Chain A
């Protein structure tokens, strides 16, 4: 699996570098333009980061589409690798690039706009109170992001199994919308039925009615335990289903 990850990185790093270069140039342009209000700067820089993420997600989807519908699948699916190894490798590399883009762009943002956001003042507050919570929040969002990626792979694999016509390959998106809707309905049901929340700063358990999967109240972040387990289970089931389809059902 390590070897496949190596070649996935080798095949995609140029694109990621291109995206990073584009985002950093956009952010530098915004900085040099000399907007004097943090709100505008932050908004535009945030937009640049979102553009970077959209480009990366497009690339991840297009890369898997090419495996399923184009000639490169003849190589990938005749390698002595299991479906689990192929899907896990793709997830690892996609997650790696999402983290790289996130860290580099946020790091560059902080360096570029350090004066405007008065980082000296923020540091004390962040480190003492919010940073640990922000890290847990980041991990939670990352798990949700990975789940969404697996759901995208599952939808594309289902699309390939059910619709052989390459021209109709885009219908995977409809499958994705349907699956996501069901997953979201289940998610809502779970946190309404099991309203037990973990305070991410004190690690106390409390019950919150009318909460959500993640609730922010009085400067603390509360995570619903049942939805956390539900999210992980959905990810595991989607991963094994996608791997099974890739290995046993998809005709290239």
Chain B
């Protein structure tokens, strides 16, 4: 099968820590991959490298067979774990902004998603609560017909009602021709989404495999396996 992401010997070093230590990871097109691990395991570092926000210290990273570049940014739809929109924007401005910069942005889908999330497009970005921010950001990211979606902790810190909405939006709007990488430590809520899972601990891959196979082989849910691997 064709690969959307190819990572070889990826290392990210900071002054006195190693965030990623020689990771090898390939992701096939059309798969939903969960990158699972506790805080500080290197999940965010890994996807920030894929999004083009961090540079690797060593190793090779390719998306759609290309090095990280302006091209890869045009085919990756990235949801950071923070409020990244400019503070002067209204929701409507944010839609226009995405529409201007990303050729694959579907404004109709975005408007439908905003309706689904009960978000008024005339609201200013700096008036939104944490949950509303998360819903808006996800609506923008899922409204692109991207080759690769990267979602960093999409349900962290939101209330259970917003969490359900966000999970529904991911399930209903995910395009099967695309691939998706989701990082989370809230495994129980998200494990049904994953085709494959990667357990990341202290910058190295502890275990990886197809979610269904891992469940069968271990007789456990991914959440239980996660607790076993990370000793929680």
Contact = CB atoms under 8 A, between A and B. Distances in A.
B86 to A, nearest CB: 6
Instruction: Tell me whether chain A's interface is mostly helix, strand or loop, or mixed.
Output: loop
Interface string A55-88: 0000000000000000111110111111000000
A166 interface: no
B88 A10 contact: yes
A154 to B, nearest CB: 19
Interface in B72-90: 73-74, 76, 78, 80, 82-88
A82 B87 CA distance: 23
Interface residues of A, number: 22
B55 A248 contact: yes
Nearest to A14: B88
B86 A75 contact: yes
A107 to B, nearest CB: 28
B48 interface: yes
Interface string B33-61: 00000000000000010011111000000
Contacts of B52: 77-78
B78 A78 contact: yes
B86 A74 contact: no
A249 to B, nearest CB: 7
Contacts of A74: 53, 80, 82, 84
B97 interface: yes
A3 interface: yes
B73 A79 contact: yes
Interface in A196-252: 248-249, 251-252
Contacts of A82: 70
Interface in A16-66: none
B70 A78 contact: no
Instruction: Tell me whether chain B's interface is mostly helix, strand or loop, or mixed.
Output: loop
Contacts of B15: 164
A189 interface: no
Interface string B74-117: 10101010111111100001000100111000000000000000
A120 interface: no
B70 A72 contact: no
Contacts of A252: 48, 53-54
Contacts of B101: 3, 79-81
A10 B93 CA distance: 10
A80 B80 contact: no
Given A3-B100, A7-B97, A71-B83, A78 B88 contact: no
Given A11-B88, A72-B86, A164-B15, 14 more contacts: A6-B100, A10-B88, A10-B93, A11-B86, A71-B83, A78-B51, A78-B73, A80-B70, A80-B71, A81-B73, A164-B14, A249-B55, A251-B55, A252-B48
Interface of B: 14-15, 48, 51-55, 70-71, 73-74, 76, 78, 80, 82-88, 93, 97, 100-102
Interface of A: 3, 6-7, 10-11, 14, 71-75, 77-82, 164, 248-249, 251-252
23 contacts: A3-B100, A7-B86, A7-B97, A10-B93, A11-B86, A71-B80, A72-B84, A72-B86, A73-B53, A74-B80, A78-B51, A78-B52, A78-B76, A78-B78, A79-B101, A80-B71, A80-B101, A80-B102, A81-B73, A164-B14, A251-B53, A251-B55, A252-B53
